[in-house]
Amino acid sequence: MLMLPSRRTGKLPVLIVLHQERSSSGRVGQMLIDKGFPLDIRRPVLGDLLPETMAGHSGAVIFGGPMSANDPDPFVKAEIDWIGVPLKENKPYLGICLGAQMMIRHLGGSVGPDKDGLTEIGWYPLRPTEHGRLLTHWPKMVYHFHREGFDVPHGVQLLAEGDAYPNQAIRYGENAWGLQFHAELTRAMMQRWVVHGEHRFIMPNAQQGREHLEGRMIFDAPLKEWLWNFLDIVFDRPAASEGKSKPVRKPALQTG
């Protein structure tokens, strides 16, 4: 499929990989559109094919989902293998939760639950590493919805840490990134997750639904601002590497 650049900005689309019929790219998609990137949304779990080359795309984002990177489903293995395409071509890649775990599996690392069965479902502290502090100003609290984490194989740089799951943000090479947490949720998305995920709130270390929504009122604004700037780091690295100074803009997006 021939992908055309935006008529307004000349930017090629970002490939968006989702894992459920009603899944959304949330704020990530909204912000990429606001930055001038069209979106090419595909759902391999429903039979959509992934491109053989990234020549027609500015980069790719693989989002989370209820499945595990260890599942035997053919589409899971196909996505894990496909990650080699943006890595080989040195195109921007961002993995969020499952997408980060898939990249770790592609690189030969391990994905699995905490040894004590702890989850991270709700708001939890985030601490940047020395490498991370040099990159961006990270939010102090971030939102999670997972019961598996990943290790950090050779060649992967740890950028931020947490408590129950210590590996929270990673970088591989110049253009591949992974986040264990979710910065992409709009208000409507979080409300759906709280309703449909209520059965998970009895799991060890999980927070109750009211804590998810109350935490959003306190912690969401800095998380939203961080995501806006982080997407510039991921998808606009040429300007950054040339030492060009870019003004920091606040997200001019709908509330949510």
Looking at the 3D structure of the chain, how many domains does it have?
A: 1
Is 150 within 8 Å of 101 (Cβ atoms)? yes
**pLDDT at residue 202, as a whole number:** 97
Q: Does residue 253 fall inside a structural domain? A: no
**pTM: predicted TM-score of the whole model, two decimal places:** 0.90
CATH code, domain carrying 145: 3.40.50.880
CA dist 215 → 97, 143, 190 (Å)? 20, 9, 11
Is beta strand 14-17 parallel, antiparallel or unpaired with respect to 39-42?
parallel
Q: Is the dihedral of CA 86, 33, 223, 79 positive or negative?
A: negative
DSSP state of 115: T
The first and second tokens of residue 67, run together, are: 């499945």
Helices (H), 58-119: 74-82, 84-89, 98-106
Residue 8 lies in a domain: no
Residue 2 lies in a domain: no
Could you give phi then psi for residue 55, rounded to 5 degrees? Answer: -60, -30
Contacts of 226 (CB under 8 A, 6+ apart): 136, 137, 138, 139, 183
**Residue found under tokens 């391990």:** 110
How far is the C-alpha of 217 from the C-alpha of 197, rounded, in Å? 20
Establish if 68 belongs to a structural domain: yes
Residue-number span of the structural domain to which 105 is assigned: 14-241
What pLDDT is attached to residue 2? 62
In a domain, 28, yes or no: yes
In a domain, 3, yes or no: no
Which pLDDT value is given to residue 240? 36
Per-residue pLDDT of the chain (256 residues; tens, 9 = 90+): 667 677 777 899 999 999 999 899 999 999 999 999 999 999 999 999 999 999 999 999 999 999 999 999 999 999 999 999 999 999 999 999 999 999 999 999 999 999 999 999 999 999 999 999 999 999 999 999 999 999 999 999 999 999 999 999 999 999 999 999 999 999 999 999 999 999 999 999 999 999 999 999 999 999 999 999 999 999 986 533 333 333 334 444 433 4
